[in-house]
Amino acid sequence: MAIDVKGVLSPLSAIGTLFEHPRTITYPEVKKEIPRGYRGFHINDLESCIGCANCQEVCMNEAIDMVHPDREYNPKNGSGCVPRIDYGRCCWCSLCTDVCPPSSLKLNNECIHADRDSNNFLYMPKNRKDIS
């Protein structure tokens, strides 16, 4: 019976990792920087949103509702409505931001949210200036 000496001994080199620094990102304490272009939650500049509902039209998931905002908004807004996104539908494909004529709707790199109630997933995009 031939003994595969290399096959027995070479895996033992793995033990060397014991003395290396772990690669773990200890998440709640240390946060990895998410790149700027990441497709996370929506932001919407109400100062420039024109309420055209292009985003609603292009969304294949019917995730976008047009509702009246309770904040100050663009006086030139044609319908007085701004998009509100259902995060029970959204797939973060970014088509809505591609078709936004004034480029007011954008995706931000903030993307982490967990909740205990399924009713809590309607998202009103924040203004860009509210996000540091």
Q: State which of positions 76-105 bind another protein (CB under 8 A).
A: 78-81, 84, 86-95, 98-99
Rounded CA separation 10/6 (Å):
6
Query: How many chain residues touch another protein (CB under 8 A)?
Result: 80
Mapping DSSP to helix (H, G, I), strand (E, B) and coil, where does residue 43 land? strand
Site string for another protein, 32-71 (x = CB under 8 A): x-xx-xxx-----------xxx--x-x-xxx--xxxxxxx
Quote the least distance from Cβ 67 to another protein, whole Å.
Answer: 6
60 touches 92 (CB < 8 A): no
Mapping DSSP to helix (H, G, I), strand (E, B) and coil, where does residue 64 land? strand
> Judged by CB under 8 A, does residue 2 bind another protein?
no
